């Protein structure tokens, strides 16, 4: 049986529980239970990948009406990747619900980024078949915001690249961008990043992942340096 508490963690209740179980079933488990006529989550993963991409693409298109295609494409790649999707899966403790083969389970499969990201995509694929695109859009946006913060506050500007280019041109020196602290449980950490230049701190930032914290710190550094942007 699928743990019912999972549905509260994902903020969605499946009408067809078989879809939920299929989304959580890894191919290694199916291989070890051939007599049970099970389906692995690979087809749902394929579907979920497209659904998540469509949702995030639509959100970016509406949220940044003046940005060009190249910038939107880059931001979409920053939002949809194995690291982000596995982090979302960890936040909802998806790993403990997976049906894995004994070998994969003994090898720590429930904690692997690739397996967690695939399972999250499969979960969204199953959710789409069980409901509608509008429903899944609301749920996925909520999942992303829980892990990354408000999507409306995620900057589309690459402050890190801008800072590196500016410092190289103005000071002939690159700043140091260092993670100085991390806190919180493994599935919900917060990171702190300092930016130093010529032995002084010029920027600090915090975020739910290292990249977000670094971007915030670099943005602060650019403001301090009065970057003409």
206: helix, coil or strand?
strand
Place of tokens 């429903």: 135
* CA distance readout (Å), 140 to 85, 174, 191: 11, 38, 23
Residue 36: active-site member: no
Residue 121: active-site member: yes
DSSP-H helix ranges across 27-101: 27-32, 42-63, 69-79, 82-91
Catalytic residue among 22, 40, 45, 49: 49
Cα–Cα distance between 130 and 122 in angstroms, integer? Answer: 12
The pair of three-digit structure tokens given for residue 62, joined into one six-digit string: 């509406």
Residue among 47, 86, 81, 69 at smallest CA distance from 156:
69
Catalytic residue among 40, 97, 118, 121: 121
Contact (Cβ atoms closer than 8 angstroms) between residue 203 and residue 224: yes
Please give the positions annotated as active site. Answer: 49, 121
């Amino acid at each position: 049986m699928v743990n019912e508490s999972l549905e509260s963690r994902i903020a969605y209740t499946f009408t067809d529980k078989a879809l939920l179980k299929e989304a959580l079933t890894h191919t290694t488990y199916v291989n070890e239970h051939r007599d049970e006529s099970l389906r692995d989550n690979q087809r749902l993963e394929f579907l979920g990948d497209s659904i998540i991409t469509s949702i995030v693409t639509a959100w970016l298109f509406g949220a940044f009406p003046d940005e060009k295609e190249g910038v939107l494409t880059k931001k979409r790649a920053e939002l949809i990747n194995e690291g982000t999707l596995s982090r979302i899966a960890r936040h909802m403790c998806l790993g403990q619900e997976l049906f894995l083969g004994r070998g994969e389970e003994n090898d720590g499969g429930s904690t692997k980024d690739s397996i967690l990201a695939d399972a999250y995509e499969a979960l969204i694929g199953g959710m789409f078949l069980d409901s509608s695109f509008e429903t899944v859009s609301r749920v996925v946006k909520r999942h992303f915001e829980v892990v990354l913060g408000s999507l409306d506050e995620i900057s589309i500007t690459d402050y890190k690249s801008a800072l590196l280019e500016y410092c190289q041109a103005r000071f002939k020196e690159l700043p140091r961008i260092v993670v100085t602290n991390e806190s919180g449980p493994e599935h919900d950490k917060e990171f702190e990043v300092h930016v130093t230049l010529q032995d002084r701190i010029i920027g600090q930032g915090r975020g739910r992942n290292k990249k977000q914290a670094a971007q915030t710190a670099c943005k602060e550094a650019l403001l301090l340096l009065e970057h003409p942007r």
